[in-house]
Structure 1
Amino acid sequence: MSITNLSHAETLKVCYDQWAPMTIFPTSGSAERGVVIDMVAHIYTAKGYQLEYFEVPLARGLDMVAEGLCDMLPEYLFSKNAQNAFEYANEATFAYVSAFVIRQDDPWRYNGIQSITGKRIATGPGWDYSSMSMDYQHYIDDPQNSNFVEVIAGDDDVVERIFRMIKDNRVDLYADNELVLQHVLNQLKLNDYLEIVRPGLEKKLVELPIFSNKIPSAKRQKLIKIWDEGRVAMQGEQEKMLLRKYKVTLAE
């Protein structure tokens, strides 16, 4: 009976990028896909959907959603200037507190944009911090600061490479979701060399699922409603259990 049901189940095509522990590319050694992908799977399989995954860099994932090759991408920052190729869900995956990672012997702390003057900052190509701090984004984008901004490219290991570069004194600091920083620090076993410091950037990073505008409107609204109701239902203990599974805790 279950096989028959599965054969007629509707498929949800999910594009996502590597942002461990929230979204993870499975490997030969681990089938885990991360907190947010587990959440998406729980919500939609409960409604009878089969999920098909496409592990791609973020820019490619956005293009695939825009082209209708994927139905959704589970996490994308909220932007009023977002393109019209997709529609946001109403319920966020999480509103993340940000922090910085620096070397253990560095007394530096973030105290507004003036405090990063002269520090070597790591980021990725096209990464957008404007929802957390317009000043920080403007600093990174300003050509006059290009000697102090290192843009690290790659598909799936950019954050790990940044951590190693900070350890090796090639860059000084990196800002991200605190859960991502916790996870990478533990994975790389660099707790004796690096530390996570607060305060982070001024605002929380709000991430929401996006759904392709190539999907017929009625179907898209149904998918959004399923997510919104499912995410609300997972608040509390279910959410905490998922986070504990990946050995991270959400800051209040």
Structure 2
Amino acid sequence: MADVSRTGTLRVCYDQWAPMTIFPSEGSPGRGVVIDMVDKIYTSAGYEPEYYEVPLARGLDMVADGLCDMLPEYLFSKSSEKYFEYAAEETFSYTTAFVVRQNDPWRYEGIESIKGKRIATGPGWDYSSMSVDYQEYINDPKNSSFVEVIAGYDDVVDRIFHMINDKRVDLYADNELVLQHVLNRLNLNGDLKIVRPGLEKKLVERPIFSKKIAEEKRQELIRIWDEGRLLMKGKDEEMLLRKYNVTFQE
């Protein structure tokens, strides 16, 4: 049982990446699979989460500056460890896939296969942990006419899907659960499709914690996450995924 005498506020910054992390609205109060996990894990340990819905870049700055204690999902990279401390337990290890138009026979077969295709991405999004070649292709100035960077607050992926449907771009890579969720919510299954394989490696995401937090408290928060996430594997995890109408494909 949680020792409620040590209840405190946990300041959580997060960005929109439905169905994993969602900005709630009046008609749709759910905060997503990963935020539901955070809520269950930390409230059972006596903490009261306080949520800040911000774009990813702003959330990272707020965690680095100590304005937030944690951000629940961020791709793991050695270079980020000087600003944040990662939990040991992943939120998830995601299989990636692409979305294209229904009548497009294209499949990803390495970097040569995307040449001449119009690719959508977001500002500062980093695919290097999944495919160094893909990230280098996007970064290369000579490919800029084939790379469309879509900026925005909470609807970037939605707009990308509509742009593919309108033939303004050709393809987009993301976590397969995100692609499933957006296709279902926008009712575009008749117009767009998910194609596999995705990028070469899985997308590994972990919570990050502010190094501005006192060491003892930071280690406690990390321990609570690591132990709580292990306990949620299996039935509890599957129940949360079903709540948001997504599932990992075999």
Normalised to the residue count of structure 1, the TM-score between the two structures is 0.97
Is 1:172 matched with 2:173? no
How far apart are residue 31 of structure 1 and its match? 1.1
Q: Which position in structure 2 is the counterpart of 1:151?
A: 149
Return the match for 2:224 from 226, 234, 240. Answer: 226
SS in 1 for 2:79: coil
| C-alpha distance in structure 2 between counterparts of 1:7 and 1:19, whole Å | 34
Is 1:85 matched with 2:113? no
How far apart are residue 8 of structure 1 and its match? 7.0
- Does the CA contact (< 8 Å) of 2:39 and 2:49 recur in 1? yes
Q: Which position in structure 1 is the counterpart of 2:59?
A: 61
Deviating beyond 2 angstroms after TM superposition, the runs of 4 or more aligned structure 1 residues are: 5-9
- Does the CA contact (< 8 Å) of 2:4 and 2:45 recur in 1? no
| C-alpha distance in structure 2 between counterparts of 1:8 and 1:140, whole Å | 47
* Seq. identity, %: 74
| C-alpha distance in structure 1 between counterparts of 2:246 and 2:179, whole Å | 10
How far apart are residue 85 of structure 1 and its match? 1.7
SS in 2 for 1:63: helix
- Unmatched tracts of structure 1, length 5 or more: none
**Deviation per CA, 1:88-146, whole angstroms, max 9, x where unpaired?**
00000000000000000100000000000000000000000000000000000000000
How far apart are residue 57 of structure 1 and its match? 0.1
Write the letter of the residue equivalent to 2:144: S
Q: Which position in structure 1 is the counterpart of 2:140?
A: 142
- Does the CA contact (< 8 Å) of 1:6 and 1:50 recur in 2? no
SS in 2 for 1:81: helix
Q: Which position in structure 2 is the counterpart of 1:188?
A: 186
With 174-183 and 78-87 compared, the bigger mean Cα shift is at 78-87
Q: Which position in structure 2 is the counterpart of 1:204?
A: 202
- Does the CA contact (< 8 Å) of 2:164 and 2:171 recur in 1? yes
| C-alpha distance in structure 2 between counterparts of 1:16 and 1:89, whole Å | 16
1:83-162 residue pairs with structure 2 within 5 A?
83-162=81-160
| C-alpha distance in structure 1 between counterparts of 2:5 and 2:58, whole Å | 29
**Deviation per CA, 1:18-55, whole angstroms, max 9, x where unpaired?**
00000000101121000000000000000010010000
**Deviation per CA, 1:128-175, whole angstroms, max 9, x where unpaired?**
000000000000000000000000000100000000000000000000
Return the match for 2:46 from 34, 48, 64. Answer: 48
- Unmatched tracts of structure 2, length 5 or more: none
Taking a change above 3 Å as real, the CA distance of residues 7 and 222 of structure 1, as seen in their structure-2 partners, is closer
